[in-house]
Structure 1
Amino acid sequence: MGLKITIITATWNSAATLEDTLRSVKEQSYADIEHIIIDGASTDDTLKIADRFPHIAKICSEKDNGIYDAMNKGIALATGDIIGILNSDDVLADNRVIERIAARFEDAGIDAVYGDLVFVDRNDLSRIKRVWKAGSYRYGQLYRGWMPPHPTVYVRRGCYERFGLFNIDYKVAADYDMLIRLLLINRIALAYIPAVLIRMRTGGVSTGSFSRRFSINKEDRLVWENNKISPRWYTLYCKPLYKVKQFLFPALQWRWLSYRRRNRG
């Protein structure tokens, strides 16, 4: 019997981009997907758009305490073996993404997987602006500023049950806190899928400005302190520097990733 994959999408006045997101899930080759929409009481056409997609298993619309609260609500409702988060302005990169993720989880020793991500033009999803090639994970890399692209991370539901949900006290760094807890403190088994799994629009909440980068850095420091572990003196300086290579020759990087995907099937 195959694995059920739960995808959680948090929305709030997301009408401008949501249809692309939902279609990317609807068109997946993998059959056993539970798609949950957690809406923060939108006042635009978000819910009307969601209603047009019968593949959606559950829609919950009510006031919440931010995106991480919405993610936690989705995890609480999830019945899948594996849980992933798909932002309402992101799309799955192609129709075999969930198939690849499910295949990797056939190894019972794997607790979570992740892959590569490309940043795309807000109005043209085929136009690549940045490439985030994550590479393979080795324990301790978070000390050197490494991060997997969080939108590509899929986790066994049991990990959330054992190690906790997103900490909603953080406004921008709850995903970083989650990864610190899962990878450094609890040392779950993480596997890399060498393929682009997500296309993320630039200019959204997740791609941010300088002021948001300052807020992230401030909260990143709190993450280490609150988890009672100490980063290296260079850890929080290396974290933003890791992203520099995303801007280098994105067209060439994308061609290489596409070539590799075609030859791996």
Structure 2
Amino acid sequence: MGKLLEEFEYYVQTQNYSRADSLIESLLDTNIVSRLERKEALSLLYRVGYVYPDLTLKLCNQRNDVPRPFIDTLQMTLGYTPSLRFYNHADSLISIKTALMRNKPLLAKLLCYRFYRQYNLQPINLVQNNKLTIGNNRKKVKKNHNKQKVSIIVTTYNSEKFVENCINSLLNQSISNIEIIVVDDASTDDTVEILKKYPSIKVIKLSNNRGTYHARNIGIEQSSGVFLTFQDSDDWSHPERVERQLLQLTKNPDNIANFSNFFRVDENTGLPSCRQNYPLLRLNISSMMIRKVTLEELGGFNDERRIESDKALLNTIISTYGPCSVEYIKTPLAIGLLRGNSLTTSENSGFDRYGYSKNRTLT
């Protein structure tokens, strides 16, 4: 029974999708899922849930310990609006999504405030016109001074639609000693023109498009901070993100790097969403904070590849310094934009409906 998920992944990675389909369909005629250990059962259900939401809902009936928020997300995927339930912490995003689907923007706004308060974060008003709007934060925060400078490196490519939200969120961080470096990877739209309105940031325009990791390495070379962190140009950072991550590293000198969590908002619907359906709050691989000297010793990002180099660097840190050298701050410190034609969703670099991408598994 413990081989079920491994067998499914094997069929997906060998692109034998008919066998993957048959395997999951066969589970409906047995009680295998009911006999699995809970952790193993949930791993299987979460993995196949966004591939076969209808079948997974039926498989959930074989157990009485499947989290209700997960069942709600399956119903949402199938076009149903579940009953409004008031969940806590990460699952509060399910409550917010349900309130918006039920056209209750005031309730969704209150739930957003409650969501951030549960993590002891400054509440942010994200709701506008019954949607979540990244960057809808006009309240300026009090600045705390940090002795050691943090350089925040942003890479852009044709980011004119969302780069202002990104930069505004970084300018509104709760610490003062920061440096914002934007490396533009040869945009052909008005991204660089828009960035000219921000005289306090450093903009580096590249003449040839070579990918986000090459651009990041350029930013690392030009940075002057003791600590480095990164942000994608279609992401928005909570005002306390950089300060929280900096505090964790300075208090724990044995940690080499840390990462925080984020959730995504669908560009079209304005609803909290993710490719995997559940959970909505996930690791933000782009949020890494690390000492500059350490990153230089590691050789920076492998810019020979345009995707997955951030995960490869994480693996290098763990293999070099050990798994305890990395801290995962499980707090919603950023929001990403789930949009078409990004590195995550495009045909060349994204995932197919089975959650597989041949390009992302190449070494």
Q: Which moved more, 1:98-107 or 1:16-25?
A: 98-107
Does 1:190 find its partner at 2:326? yes
Whole-angstrom CA distance in 2 between matches of 1:221 and 1:12: 24
Whole-angstrom CA distance in 2 between matches of 1:37 and 1:173: 20
RMSD (Å) for aligned C-alpha atoms: 2.3
Residue number in structure 2 paired with 1:99: 243
Does 1:177 find its partner at 2:312? yes
Kindly provide the CA deviation profile for residues 151-199 of structure 1, in whole angstroms up to 9, marking residues without a partner as x.
Answer: 2221111221111111122221211211111112442711222311221
Kindly provide the CA deviation profile for residues 232-263 of structure 1, in whole angstroms up to 9, marking residues without a partner as x.
Answer: xxxxxxxxxxxxxxxxxxxxxxxxxxxxxxxx
Q: Is the 8 A contact 1:170 1:219 kept in 2?
A: no
Cα gap change, 1:6/1:123 in structure 2, threshold over 3 Å: closer, same or farther?
A: farther
Q: Is the 8 A contact 2:240 2:333 kept in 1?
A: no
Given the two structures, how large is their TM-score scaled by the length of structure 1?
0.70
Q: Which amino acid aligns with 2:361?
A: D
Does 1:13 find its partner at 2:158? yes
Q: Which amino acid aligns with 2:351?
A: R
Whole-angstrom CA distance in 1 between matches of 2:233 and 2:194: 12
Q: Is the 8 A contact 1:13 1:43 kept in 2?
A: yes
Residue number in structure 1 paired with 2:224: 79
SS in 2 for 1:176: helix
Kindly provide the CA deviation profile for residues 130-163 of structure 1, in whole angstroms up to 9, marking residues without a partner as x.
Answer: 35545xxxxxxxxxxxxx4312221111221111
Kindly provide the CA deviation profile for residues 75-115 of structure 1, in whole angstroms up to 9, marking residues without a partner as x.
Answer: 111111111111111110x2111111121122222211111
Q: Which moved more, 1:83-92 or 1:40-49?
A: 40-49
Does 1:220 find its partner at 2:361? yes
Q: Is the 8 A contact 1:132 1:149 kept in 2?
A: no
Q: Is the 8 A contact 2:174 2:243 kept in 1?
A: yes
Matches of residues 1-265 of structure 1 in structure 2 within 5 Å?
A: 2-56=147-201, 58-62=202-206, 63-92=208-237, 94-107=238-251, 108-122=253-267, 127-130=271-274, 131-134=279-282, 148-187=283-322, 189-204=325-340, 205-209=342-346, 212-213=350-351, 216-222=357-363
Q: Is the 8 A contact 1:152 1:197 kept in 2?
A: no
Q: Which runs of 5+ in 1 are unaligned?
A: 135-147, 223-265
Cα gap change, 1:22/1:221 in structure 2, threshold over 3 Å: closer, same or farther?
A: same
Aligned residues, how many? 206
More strand by share: 1
Per the TM alignment, residue 123 of structure 1 is displaced from its structure 2 partner at its CA by: 5.6
Q: Is the 8 A contact 2:286 2:310 kept in 1?
A: no
Q: Is the 8 A contact 2:273 2:280 kept in 1?
A: no
Per the TM alignment, residue 3 of structure 1 is displaced from its structure 2 partner at its CA by: 2.1
Residue number in structure 2 paired with 1:248: none
Q: Which amino acid aligns with 1:158?
A: V
Per the TM alignment, residue 208 of structure 1 is displaced from its structure 2 partner at its CA by: 1.4
Task: Mark the structure with the bigger radius of gyration.
Answer: 2
Whole-angstrom CA distance in 2 between matches of 1:90 and 1:151: 9
Cα gap change, 1:81/1:216 in structure 2, threshold over 3 Å: closer, same or farther?
A: farther
Whole-angstrom CA distance in 2 between matches of 1:111 and 1:192: 11
> Alignment identity in percent?
26
Q: Is the 8 A contact 1:176 1:220 kept in 2?
A: no
Whole-angstrom CA distance in 2 between matches of 1:217 and 1:128: 27
Q: Which amino acid aligns with 1:213?
A: F
Whole-angstrom CA distance in 2 between matches of 1:216 and 1:153: 23
